[in-house]
């Protein structure tokens, strides 16, 4: 039986008689609307994959993953079947018209063959997960791994009575990959499934935590393969809420089946198998790599010849008057290429302008009249309290009138607004600088 199963997988999937899977795929595709379950998330679509074209998937470990669109999710369940919890998971999936992929352990299948048959009858995809689930695939011999793989397939096939009902999908226990194991599986046309994200449901955490991790990580990823375990009660308990939340957030469930003669692989482009294919809308810079120069020879470059400088007489032009030697021989200096400064007539402005008369610098007798009217600028500054400050300004003007030579007081008038100047409405530093004078002046005024 083991030999038959092994030989079965050596043939390309396209020649396999997987009529059962083909019909199941059709059924799952039609299950998007879920009679009797209006809140079901349903199964949005079914994609058909050829393991030989994409032998390893799941971005947790491999460059490629399933060709999912944004907000599409593939559910996978490992380690079953286990009667009670797996049955509960199966019911939740049925209530939601969701099709998933199960990676069964051979020993579990032998212990619970009815559970395997239920999965197939419900239209789910059946992959395998070794015979005894050893967490040593990364260090066991390829021969030992082969036996684990083949025994697991044989056990599931025995439970079904039909090896063709098993998809050529394999998940390595613990995701403990090894080159030899992957090469062996690829040679058999069996696709290795890693995953895109986890919900840590094999740990001793609550079902609420499983739900939390599943939804948060999906939200972070935006799409992908989710790895769960149908053997755990916490997973069975969390699943209804996970599916409900996925629906609420606009996620779609995708069912995956292997290609067959009757059902060829879903047409895809190579970039569809990358989690983040290159986008035309997001520019990416692909700079050429800087070559890593290796200087085989470190000889000095040859010194330039004097003639290289195009200098007459091979003389370097280093003197302050570089063209003097040419002028002396009647040779005009070469034109410089840069623009010349415009020639301006140097008029004797300092001579032609009249000398200011001394009277210009004399302060007239009635200079104080200039201070009778407060400068308009100060009124504008006091805009926030015009009546009061205007009156103050008038007052200051009057005070300025009280004596000649007291122009300083008028100049210090802004100091009366020093508090305002210090406020956001400050117009100049001069106002603030004059501020210290104010208390003195106010006190003087009060006396009067
Ligand atoms: Zn497992």
Q: What pLDDT was estimated at residue 308?
A: 60
Q: What pLDDT was estimated at residue 383?
A: 41
Distance of CA 128 from the midpoint of ligand 1 (Å) = 10
Distance of CA 82 from the midpoint of ligand 1 (Å) = 13
Distance of CA 249 from the midpoint of ligand 1 (Å) = 28
- DSSP strands (E only) in 236-389: 252-258
Question: Helices 83-95 and 233-248, interaxial angle, to 10°?
Answer: 10
What is the pLDDT of the chain when averaged over all its residues?
76
Distance of CA 79 from the midpoint of ligand 1 (Å) = 5
pLDDT value at 448 more than 90: no
Distance of CA 380 from the midpoint of ligand 1 (Å) = 82
Query: For residue 271, which phi and psi values (nearest 5 degrees)?
Result: -70, -20
> Beta strand pairing status for 191-193 and 56-57?
parallel
CA distance 67 to 60: 15
Distance of CA 121 from the midpoint of ligand 1 (Å) = 23
Distance of CA 150 from the midpoint of ligand 1 (Å) = 16
Distance of CA 382 from the midpoint of ligand 1 (Å) = 81
Q: What is the pLDDT of residues 115-151, one digit of tens each?
A: 999 999 999 999 999 999 999 999 999 999 999 999 9
Q: How do the domains of the chain map onto residue ranges?
A: 2-273, 367-447
CA torsion angle for 325, 329, 333, 334 (degrees, to 10)? -100
Between vectors from CA 307 to CA 305 and to CA 312, what angle results, nearest 5°?
145
Q: What pLDDT was estimated at residue 356?
A: 72
Distance of CA 226 from the midpoint of ligand 1 (Å) = 13
Nearest Cα to 5, choosing from 76, 123, 101, 106?
Answer: 106
SS (H, E, C) 313-335: HHCCCCCCCCCHHHHCCCCCCCC
pLDDT value at 189 more than 70: yes
Distance of CA 138 from the midpoint of ligand 1 (Å) = 14
* Residue 384 contacts residue 408 (beta carbons within 8 Å): no
Distance of CA 106 from the midpoint of ligand 1 (Å) = 11
pLDDT value at 432 more than 90: no
Distance of CA 92 from the midpoint of ligand 1 (Å) = 21
Q: Does pTM surpass 0.95? A: no
Distance of CA 77 from the midpoint of ligand 1 (Å) = 9
Distance of CA 227 from the midpoint of ligand 1 (Å) = 10
Distance of CA 4 from the midpoint of ligand 1 (Å) = 25
Q: What is the pLDDT of residues 243-257, one digit of tens each?
A: 999 999 999 999 999
Contacts 24+ apart (CB under 8 A), 343-347: none
Cis omega (within 30 of 0) for bond into 410: no
Nearest Cα to 128, choosing from 107, 111, 97, 142?
Answer: 107
Distance of CA 169 from the midpoint of ligand 1 (Å) = 14
What element of type H or E holds 75? strand 72-78
Nearest Cα to 42, choosing from 258, 228, 254?
Answer: 254
* Residue where the block lists tokens 């080159």: 179
CA distance 144 to 130: 11
DSSP string, 364-405: PTTGGGGGSSPPHHHHHHGGGGHHHHHHHHHHHHHHHHT-TT
Nearest Cα to 73, choosing from 269, 214, 272?
Answer: 214
Distance of CA 228 from the midpoint of ligand 1 (Å) = 9
Nearest Cα to 102, choosing from 279, 275, 227, 206?
Answer: 227
Q: What's the CATH number for 2-273? A: 3.20.20.370
Distance of CA 120 from the midpoint of ligand 1 (Å) = 19
CB atoms within 10 A of CB 133: 17
Q: What pLDDT was estimated at residue 108?
A: 98
Helix, coil or strand: residue 287? coil
Choose between 34 and 319: higher pLDDT.
34
- Return the half-sphere exposure (C-beta side, CA atoms, 13 A cut-off) of residue 396: 26
CA distance 166 to 332: 97
pLDDT band at 357 (very low <50, low <70, confident <90, very high): confident
Cis omega (within 30 of 0) for bond into 81: yes
Distance of CA 129 from the midpoint of ligand 1 (Å) = 7
Helix, coil or strand: residue 29? helix
Distance of CA 206 from the midpoint of ligand 1 (Å) = 19
| Percent with pLDDT over 90 in the chain | 54
Distance of CA 175 from the midpoint of ligand 1 (Å) = 8
CA torsion angle for 346, 349, 351, 355 (degrees, to 10)? -170
Q: What is the pLDDT of residues 291-344, one digit of tens each?
A: 666 656 556 666 766 566 555 554 544 545 555 555 556 666 556 566 666 665
Distance of CA 107 from the midpoint of ligand 1 (Å) = 12
Distance of CA 202 from the midpoint of ligand 1 (Å) = 9
CA distance 318 to 310: 14
pLDDT value at 439 more than 90: no
Nearest Cα to 10, choosing from 52, 40, 56, 64?
Answer: 52
Query: For residue 240, which phi and psi values (nearest 5 degrees)?
Result: -55, -45
* Residue where the block lists tokens 């613990």: 174
Distance of CA 381 from the midpoint of ligand 1 (Å) = 80
CA distance 407 to 399: 10
Between vectors from CA 255 to CA 115 and to CA 183, what angle results, nearest 5°?
85
Distance of CA 280 from the midpoint of ligand 1 (Å) = 39
Distance of CA 200 from the midpoint of ligand 1 (Å) = 12
Question: Helices 179-187 and 142-160, interaxial angle, to 10°?
Answer: 50
Q: What is the pLDDT of residues 381-430, one digit of tens each?
A: 444 444 344 334 444 444 444 444 433 433 333 333 333 333 333 333 33
């Amino acid at each position: 039986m083991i030999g038959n199963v092994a030989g079965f997988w050596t043939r390309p999937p396209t020649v396999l008689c997987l009529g059962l899977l083909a019909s199941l795929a059709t059924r799952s595709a039609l299950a998007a609307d879920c009679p009797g379950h209006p809140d079901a998330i349903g199964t949005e679509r079914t994609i058909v994959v050829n393991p030989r074209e994409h032998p390893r998937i799941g971005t947790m470990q491999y460059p490629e993953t399933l060709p999912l669109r944004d907000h599409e999710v593939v559910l996978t369940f490992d380690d079953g079947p286990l009667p009670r919890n797996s049955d509960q998971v199966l019911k939740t999936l049925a209530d939601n018209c969701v099709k998933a992929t199960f990676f069964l352990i051979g020993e579990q299948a032998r212990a619970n063959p009815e559970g395997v048959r239920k999965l197939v009858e419900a239209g789910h995809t059946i992959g395998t997960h070794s015979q005894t689930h050893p967490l040593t695939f990364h260090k066991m011999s390829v021969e030992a791994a082969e036996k684990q793989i083949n025994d697991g397939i044989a056990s599931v096939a025995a439970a079904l009575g039909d090896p063709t009902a098993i998809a050529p999908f394999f998940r390595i226990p613990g995701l403990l990959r090894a080159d030899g194991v992957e090469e062996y599986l690829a040679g058999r046309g069996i696709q290795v499934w890693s995953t895109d994200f986890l919900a840590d449901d094999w740990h001793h955490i609550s079902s609420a935590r499983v739900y939390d991790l599943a939804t948060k990580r999906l939200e972070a990823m935006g799409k992908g393969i989710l790895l769960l375990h149908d053997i755990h009660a916490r997973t069975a308990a969390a699943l209804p809420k996970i599916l409900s939340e996925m629906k609420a957030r606009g996620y779609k469930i995708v069912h995956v089946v292997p290609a067959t003669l009757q059902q060829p692989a879903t047409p895809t482009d190579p970039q569809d198998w990358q989690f983040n294919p290159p986008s035309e809308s997001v520019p990416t810079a692909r700079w050429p790599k800087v070559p890593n120069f290796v200087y085989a020879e470190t000889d000095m470059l040859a010194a330039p010849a004097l003639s290289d400088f195009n200098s007459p007489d091979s003389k370097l032009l280093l003197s302050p008057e570089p063209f003097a030697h040419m002028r002396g021989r009647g040779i005009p200096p070469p034109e410089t290429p840069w623009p010349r400064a415009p020639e301006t007539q140097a008029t004797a402005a300092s001579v032609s302008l009249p000398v200011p008369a001394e009277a210009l610098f004399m302060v007239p007798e009635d200079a104080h009249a200039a201070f009778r009217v407060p400068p308009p600028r100060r009124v504008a500054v006091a805009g926030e309290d015009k009546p009061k400050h205007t009156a103050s300004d008038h007052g200051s003007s009057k005070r300025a009138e009280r004596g000649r030579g007291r122009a300083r007081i008028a100049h210090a008038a802004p100091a009366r607004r020093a508090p305002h100047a210090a406020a956001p409405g400050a117009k100049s530093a001069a106002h603030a600088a004059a501020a210290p004078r104010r208390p003195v002046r106010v006190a003087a005024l009060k006396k009067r």
